[in-house]
Amino acid sequence: MNSFNRVPIGPRSSRRRDVHTWFDAPSNVFIVVMLVILCCSSASASAQEGPAAAPDSPPSVFQKDKTDIAVDKAIAYLVSKQRDDGAVLDKGTDTTMTALSIMAMASVGIQPGDPTPEGQTMQKALSFVLSDGRVDDKGYFGSKDGSRMYGHGIITLMLTEMLGMGGSEEQDQLIHDRCQKAIDVILSSQKEQKPTHARGGWRYNPNARDADLSVSVWQVMALRSAKNDGLQVPASAIRDAVEYLKRSYASPLDRNGLPDKKASGFCYEPRQNNPTFTMTAAGLLAMQVCGEYESPLVAGAADWLLARPPKWKERFCSYGTYYYAQGMYQRGGEHAKTAQQLVQEMLLANQAADGSWTAQNSSERGHGAVYATSMSVLSLSVKYHYLPIYQK
């Protein structure tokens, strides 16, 4: 695998900006000249103060640590699993697994336009997801590969994050068109008549009249990302989703929205009192993605998770660790520092020699190595935080 430089993707408005336009501005040319002068002066001073560097020592962007090396190996594994038609997978639900792989690559700084094997893999993978055979006439991705609303949310989030990063103007336009139709499916599904406790959420099928947190979180993140893109997402959809998230919190809330317990977690469905690691991590990330950084539910969930770190062989560990890593990173401070260290130690200790991960719990083992590897890369990507949806 060729080594790649991780370059922040940055705001969507500047993703496809031609580098030549930067150098066209006189002030920017002046800055470049001054930087060159300063660098030359610094190099001259260094030569006088100490021994010269070995002439055959290549310059490096950064010194790679164990996490960087693990990520490089994981990306190489994903590249090796691409089929001739562009899909990346080793088990079923080809569109969804390919979307997860694309997100994993993007999360560590790879872009479809990169003239590298990784960039070419992303380009082919995007073309596969965007092909007519992957989506129905209404814009729903979940029926073609059997992934239902789970897959639809994942694929939609990936496309909204890749908007403006296509390999051509035509592909960018296709991403935009697919995004808006996919978002419309999510919005329509949210408006289905549901009992009060399920309103604002989503379930397995677009016409479902109940909801659960696991399916809902992917739709919430897709909506938030799409709104950041400037796509048509009413603010009421985000507000209703946040209210659903709050109803999924285990500790009862008083009339002021304050929980009875200082530290508590999120449940799979509202009106339950059995918070789990995976759902608490999912709720923590979703609340912050929606801007609820100062919510007492966010503080309570982060504290609850601090006392309950991920364990490799527990149910849905790969899935939960992804939410945990990203959600605790958003929280910042000691929560972020502790979570990043724990996640790195756990994942690096369980990576296979070929760069992949395979879940060791019965609930995820059957999903294959592409799934677990993509989720692991997304978990480790807090070190780089390139995708806009995961930036603070």
Alpha carbons 299 and 283: distance in angstroms, whole number: 11
Q: Work out the mean pLDDT of the chain and round it to a whole number.
A: 87
What pLDDT is attached to residue 62? 66
pLDDT confidence of 61, banded at 50, 70, 90? low
Is residue 324 within 8 A of residue 339, CB to CB? The reply is yes
Q: Which residue has better confidence, 46 or 202?
A: 202
Residue 84 has pLDDT above 50, yes or no: yes
Q: How does pLDDT run across 231-249, given as a tens digit for each residue?
A: 999 999 999 999 999 999 9
Residue 38 has pLDDT above 50, yes or no: no
Partners of residue 279 on adjacent β-strands: none
What pLDDT is attached to residue 255? 85
Kindly state the tokens that stand for 288: 């912050």
Is residue 151 within 8 A of residue 98, CB to CB? The reply is no
What are the start-end ranges of the H helices in the chain?
19-24, 26-49, 66-80, 94-107, 117-130, 148-162, 169-190, 213-229, 235-247, 277-289, 296-306, 317-331, 333-349, 369-380
Residue 27 has pLDDT above 80, yes or no: no
Residue 31 has pLDDT above 60, yes or no: no
**Angle of helix 94-107 relative to helix 369-380, nearest 10 degrees?**
30
What pLDDT is attached to residue 35? 41
Q: Which residues contact 205 (CB under 8 A, 6 or more apart)?
A: 142, 148, 149
Q: What is the DSSP letter of 264?
A: -
Residue 301 has pLDDT above 90, yes or no: yes
Count of Cβ atoms closer than 10 Å to residue 378 Cβ: 23
pLDDT confidence of 1, banded at 50, 70, 90? very low
For the chain, what is the largest distance between any 2 Cα atoms, rounded to a whole number of angstroms?
76
Q: How does pLDDT run across 349-391, given as a tens digit for each residue?
A: 999 999 999 999 999 999 999 999 999 999 999 999 899 898 8
| Mean pLDDT computed over 282-302 | 97
What pLDDT is attached to residue 390? 87
Q: How does pLDDT run across 86-120, given as a tens digit for each residue?
A: 999 999 999 999 999 999 999 999 999 899 999 99
Rg (CA), the chain: 22
Alpha carbons 239 and 270: distance in angstroms, whole number: 17
Q: Is 194 left (phi over 0), alpha (psi -120 to 50) or beta?
A: beta
Cα torsion 373, 148, 123, 289: sign: negative
Residues in the chain: 392
Q: How does pLDDT run across 247-290, given as a tens digit for each residue?
A: 999 998 888 888 998 899 999 999 999 999 999 999 999 999 99
Cα torsion 312, 94, 323, 382: sign: positive
Q: Which residue has better confidence, 151 or 19?
A: 151
Q: Which residue has better confidence, 15 or 327?
A: 327
Residue 46 has pLDDT above 70, yes or no: no
| Three-state secondary-structure class, residue 360 | coil
Q: What angle do CA 130, 131, 136 make, to 5 degrees?
A: 90
CA 50 remoteness from chain centre:
45
Tell which residue, 216, 143, 238, 136, has the closest CA to residue 178. Answer: 136
Q: How does pLDDT run across 329-355, given as a tens digit for each residue?
A: 999 999 999 999 999 999 999 999 999
| Mean pLDDT computed over 319-324 | 98
